Structure formats: structure tokens, C-alpha cells
Amino acid sequence: MVAPELPELGNGSLEKGRWASDHRVVNFWEGVFALTTAILATIPILVFLAIIVFMVYDSVEFFRSYLEEGKAAGATIWQFFTDREWTVMFEPPEGERRRIGVISLIIASSIVALIAVAVAAPLGVLMSVVVTHYLPKRLNYFITPVLNMISGVPTIVLGAFAFSSFTPALQKIFPQIQPYNLLVSGLLVGLFVTPTVLGIGVSAINAVPRSYFEAAYSLGMRKYEYILNIVLPTVFPALIAAFTLAFSRAFGETMIPVLASGLTPQFTFNPLQAGQTVASFIFQAATAAVGFDTLEFKSMFATGLVLFLLTFALNSVGNLSRRRFAAQIESLGVSKVEEGTGSLPGEETFYALGERMTGIEFKRNDSLRALGGAIFAGLSYASLVPTFLLLLFLTVSNFRQGARYLNGKFFTQFADPDPEQAGILAALVGNLWLVLLVLVILIVVGLGAAIFLEEYAEIFLFKVFRNRKVVQWVETLLEINLDNLSAIPTIIYGVLGTELFIRTMKMGRSVLAGTLTLAILALPFVITTFRASLRNVPATLRYAGYAVGMSKSQVILRIAIPYAFSGLTSGVLLAATVTMGETAALGAVVGSLGLISFTPFNNPEGRGPFLSQFVTIPLQIYIWATKPTTEPLAAAAIVVLLTILLILGALALFTANLFQSKTYES
């Protein structure tokens, strides 16, 4: 072994003067950077406050106008809780009052959400089992994204499918089903929220310590016995959390009930009848052509507040218990083998397993057990079927219906009363323009906020509170708040956008208002994914940066962000799919949906691309899908939208995998 010869370093090599960087300058920029990210990070908090302030303020306004209008008819606030009917949209006859029994809306939402959970819970759990324990790993890379795809389908598409295909098909079998009904909403919303259960289920099951598996098998359990007796009981708290979150999501889902359950509020417990949910009423009020000062307009804040509080409570419970479970299972899996502690490897998990095992008797009947295994496996695989079928139906039926219109003309013409002359140019350009603007905002604000929360918040909070417990508590609170914000029904953001950007800031029902609304809608989700990508950057890599004299912002900008780049990109692409397909919130911003036959770049009023009116593909679908003559146009537009989303989704997946294959050897 020859030692490398040390070359002469030469005189003056070790002089300080060769290093021009001045730490005062570096530290100045460091401060500027940290401050900027801190300011950006306050935006989600401001959004949260704005939601509460506007909702409460305008709810008060609602009750005030209600009391004034119904004074003669003996209106009181309590009728909000005691009335059975909800007739806010109808002008009352002389001497009478409107009925404001929000309970009828809540019941309808609950029926939809309960049916949805009844669908999503078993399907989601069984899917998680298949994905984690039955399917070969390689197949999973393909199957899991497909299963998740359903929650990426814009709900307007599912709603249109429910109304025009699913209900008619069901009516052939059960003639007593109404054309508009809650059942179909529930079923489709259920499939739509299944990925929520699947996602939490898979990560919970994967967190079950491997030693459980080894112990169970060494005790002669079969796979299904292991899953039923050990895995599922272990992850039960996480599943309950998942069901809660799924319920909340279903409760606030807007476009499916709007299209499939009708817009007439009814006090009914019968899922075969039509009914209006809280969210679908808000959508109706927001898109009705009413003035800002009318009772109808204000009613969406009162109902919005109800929806916000209910979903917020559910999400908080769900997210908290999900966290608690994650912390618990982490401590279960770790068997401490530090020297001197005296505990044997695996001892703790062994005892934990022992507790689970006590209920299991010796079952001698082997053929019965084999049958059990087969049935369980069959059921698990069967859980994949509904989602696949739905995706297949969606594609095939829309393609067949819309095929006639899918030609070059469709892309170069504007919407038109004559279906033969109609196209989606305005919607396509409007949609892409809006998404582009939203992404710019999301990248700047989302990245800034994510950097602050992930890199600076802890130190900052510690400086403020000087107590580690309090800091942790505040951080958890912030994170749960972010999780909650990203699970708030999107229609609430629509209502907020209308009030904040259109009414207060007077932006008009413009591209700008739509962009900002979508941006605050997607921001919590984007921040969360960006944070996860930054957290993935190995600590040793950051240390390497510090060790060569980088400042914190340099480590972030030159090391962490380049390393996390593909993760960040995939987050941006996912945000693009979310904003591309968003219907409810934009519907509220656009208000009364009319015929838009111009793009933001050549609008007739000459307002410029930011203040122009606009339409997007999902909104165009809504307009078309609600009229029988234009239904095939809606189908054609759905095909276009789904194609764009599929491309974006595939790109997101591709970049995310790029990230995974470039693992850093640490």
C-alpha cells in the first residue's frame, strides 16, 4: 500500500484572506430568509382565523336578518335547532317566516356519511390487508396507485355518473328508488373516501412490528388467523381514526350529493328519497344568483359554520387518535437492547404478543381453518373489485357517451347553446391558466411555510416559550391544525373566498379570486407534503453542509431542497390534480354559472387575464351535466379532464418514485 504523496501546499495556503465570505453578511441574509419564511408560514394561520371570523360574523348577520324578516311570524334563533324544515331559499308568504331547521340538512349529510363509511370501512380495511399481506410487492406498485385514483377523480365526475348512470341502473332493480336519492350519494361517496381508510390502514399495518409476525407464525397461526387475531386488533385504534376521518370527509362532500340527491331539503331518514345535505345546500346558495345582502346569501355562512364545526371536531378527534396510535406502535416495536438495561431483545414485544394470544385456543380442525383462510383471502381480494369496476365504468361510459364530440372542433370552440357547435376552449384555457397561477402561489407560499415549520419553528417557538413541553404541544397543535385545514370541505373555502376576495377585497368573480381561493384550499395539503419531503433529507447530509461552513439557509437552499426536489415536484403535481378538478369551491366563486364564451386572454370587457371572468372544465361539466340535451358534452369533457388528470397523476407518481430510487446511503 503506497501512501499518497502529500503535495506541497505552498506558502499562503492557510491564510484567512483567501476566504472572502463575511459571516455578518451571511447572517444578515440568514435573518432575511428566516423572516420571509416566518411571514409565509403565518398565512395558513391567517386563513384559519379568517374562516372562523367570517363564518361567525356572517352567521350573526344571518340570524339578525332572519329575526328581522320573520319578526311578525315569531322568529327566534332557536328555530335553527327546533325547526324540522329548511326553506331558506323560498320567499315566505306574507305573515309567515322561513323554516331554518338545519337538522334536516344535518340528517341528510349524516345519512350519506354513514352509508359512505359502511362502504369505505370494510372495503378500506380489506384492501389494506390485501395490499400489505396478499399481493406481491411488485404488483403493489401498480395496484395501490390505481386504488387511490378514485379519490383523485373530481367529484363532479362521480356525481354526474351517479345521476346519469348509476341511479337509473339501480332503479331497474329497485323501482322504489327516487331519481334523486341519498343512497346513491352515500355509495359513491363511500368509494370516493375508501382511499382515506386504505392509506391509514396500510401505514398502520406496516407499522406492526415484524416480531409479532414471527412469533405468530412460530406458534402455528395461519395467515388469516394472524391478521384477524393480531394485526387488526393491534391497528384497531388507527382504523377507528380512519373511519372518523372518512366520515368527516363524506359528511362535507359537495358535488356528489348536489348531482345525485337533488337540491330539495327534506326531513327524512329514508335513504331512498331525495334530500339536501349541508354542503350541497351551501353550494346551491353560493351559486344562486342572489345579492350579497340577502338572507339566502348569508345563510351559507350559518350552514358553513355548522359544517365547519362538525367536520373540524371529527377531524381533530381522528387526527389526534391517529397520532396517538402512531406514537404507541413505535414504542411497541422497539425492544431496547442498550447495554446494561438487562432486558432481552424482543422481550417487550414478546409480552405484548402474549397478551394478544390469550384468547386463542387450540383449534384442531385443520380443514375448517384452511377454508377460513380461503374465504378470508377471497373476501380481501373481492374488496378491490368495486373500485376497479367503478373506474372502468367511468372511463367506458363517458367515452361511449362523449365519443361523438371528441374531435378537434371540441377543443377549438367555445361553449354554445347548440350542442353541435359547443366546445371546451374557454374551460380548458381557463382551467390551465388558473392551475398555473395557483401553482406559482403554492410553490412560493407553500415552500416558505414548509421551510419555516420544518426547519425554524422549533427554535423559534423555544425562544418564545422557553419550555420544551409547551413547544411540543404548540407544534402538535400546528400540525393537527394543518391536517384539519386540509380536510375541511372544499365548499367552505369557496364560501370564504367569496366573502374575502370578492365581497371584501372587491376582486369580482375573477380569475384572481378563483386562483386565491384554490391556493388557500390546497395550501395546507401542499405544506404537509413539502414538509414530509424536507424531513426525508438525511440529517447526515445537513451536517455535511454545516461542517463546510454553510449557514442554515444555505443548507436548506443548496442541500435540502435539491435533495428533496423530486418529492417537492411530486407534491406540486398532486396539488395540480387537486386544483384542476376542484368544482365546489370554484362554483361558489363563480356564482351563477352562465355561458362563458371567451378565454381570460381575450375577454370582451378587456379586463386582462387576471380580472377576467372564467370557467373551468369541472364547472363546464356541471353546467352540461345538469341538462339532458348536453349530457354527452359533459361526458366528452369528463374524458378530457380525466385524461389530463391521469397524465398529471402519472407524472407525480413517476417523480415520487424517482425520489425513492435515489436513496442516500446513510
Partner 1 sequence: MNPEQKTVGTVLQGEGVSIALEDVTVFYGINPAIQNVTLDIYSNTVTAFIGPSGCGKTTLLRCINRMNDMITTTQITGAIRVFGEDVRKIDPIELRRRVGMVFQRPNPFPTSIYENIALGLRVNGFRGNISDQVEKYLRLVGLYDEVKDRLKMNALQLSGGQQQRLCIARTLALEPEIILMDEPCSSLDPISSIRIDNLITQLKKYFTVVIITHNLQQAARIADWVAFLKVVEAEGARFGVLGEYATSTDFFTKPSSIDAYNYINTRIG
Residues that bind partner 1 (CB under 8 A): 1, 3-4, 6-7, 9, 13-14, 17-24, 26-27, 339-340, 458-459, 462, 468, 538, 540-551, 554, 558-559, 562-563, 662, 664-666
Contact assessment for residue 644 and residue 580, using Cβ atoms and an 8 Å cutoff: yes
Residues 6+ apart with CB under 8 A from 632: 401, 402, 404, 405, 419
Q: Is 208 exposed, middle or buried (0-12, 13-18, 19+ CB in 10 A)?
A: buried
Measuring CA to CA, how many Å separate 639 from each of 324, 428, 562?
42, 12, 36
As measured in angstroms, the least distance from the Cβ of 546 to partner 1 is: 6
HEC-encoded secondary structure of 140-192: HHHHHHHHHHHHHCCHHHHHHHHHHHHHHHHHHHCCCCCCCCHHHHHHHHHHH
**Cβ closest to partner 1, residue 367 vs residue 661:** 661
Q: Which long-range contacts (CB under 8 A, 24 or more apart) does 71-75 make?
A: 73/97
Identity (one letter) of the amino acid at 375? I
Instruction: Give 562 or 608: the residue with its C-beta nearer to partner 1.
Output: 562
In terms of Cβ atoms closer than 10 Å to its own Cβ (0-12, 13-18, 19+), residue 392 is: exposed
CA gap 415, 428 in Å, rounded: 11
Task: Please state the closest distance from residue 324 (CB atom) to partner 1, in A.
Answer: 23
What is d(CA 560, CA 518) in angstroms, rounded to the nearest whole number? Answer: 27
CB of 27 to partner 1, least distance (A): 7
Given a contact cutoff of 8 angstroms between Cβ atoms, the answer to whether 566 and 662 are in contact is yes
- The amino acid that residue 48 corresponds to is F
How many other CB atoms are found less than 10 A from the CB of residue 117?
25
**Could you give phi then psi for residue 86, rounded to 5 degrees?**
-125, 105
Minimum separation from the CB atom of position 659 to partner 1 (A): 11
Closer residue to partner 1 in complex, CB, 17/408: 17
Looking at the Cβ atoms of 614 and 659, the one nearer to partner 1 is 659
The CA angle 654-655-660, to the nearest 5 degrees, is: 95
Nearer to partner 1, 233 or 562 (CB): 562
Nearest alpha-carbon partner for 274 in 107, 418, 138:
107
- Whose Cβ is closer to partner 1: residue 111's or residue 537's? 537
CB closer to partner 1 out of 22 and 94: 22
Dihedral angle computed from the Cα positions of residues 27, 29, 30 and 34, in that order, rounded to the nearest 10 degrees: 140
Give strand pairing partners of 86.
100
Least distance to partner 1 from the beta carbon of 539, Å?
Answer: 9
C-alpha cell at 187: 355509495
| Alpha carbons 429 and 330: distance in angstroms, whole number | 48
Residue type, 328: Q
d(CA 447, CA 567): 12
d(CA 502, CA 508): 5
Nearer to partner 1 by Cβ, of 5 and 91: the residue is 5
Of 26 and 611, which CB lies nearer to partner 1 in the complex structure? 26
Q: Is the separation of the CB atoms in 183 and 321 below 8 Å?
A: no
Least CB distance to partner 1 at residue 538 (A): 8
Provide the minimum distance between the beta carbon of 38 and partner 1 in the complex, in angstroms, as a whole number.
17
**Could you tell me the smallest distance in angstroms from the CB atom of residue 337 to partner 1?**
12
Q: Which is nearer to partner 1, 71 or 662 (CB)?
A: 662
Q: How far is the CB of 662 from partner 1 (least distance, A)?
A: 7
Closest separation between CB of residue 664 and partner 1, Å? 6
User: At closest approach, how far in Å is the CB of 468 from partner 1?
Assistant: 7
Specify the amino acid at residue 102: V
DSSP secondary structure letter of residue 10: -
* Amino acid, single-letter form, for residue 124: G
Return the number of the residue (14 or 289) whose C-beta is nearest partner 1.
14
Residue in 55, 269, 81, 281 with CA at minimum distance from that of residue 182: 269
Comparison of 9 and 173: residue with beta carbon closer to partner 1: 9
Supply the minimum distance, in Å, between the C-beta of residue 663 and partner 1: 9
Q: Closer CB to partner 1, residue 173 or residue 547?
A: 547
Give whichever of 26 and 67 is closer to partner 1, judged by the CB atom: 26
**Helix 137-149 / helix 385-402 crossing angle, nearest 10 deg:** 50
Minimum CB–partner distance for residue 2 and partner 1 (Å): 8
What's the start-to-end Cα distance of the chain, in Å? 28
CB 553 → partner 1: shortest distance, Å? Answer: 11
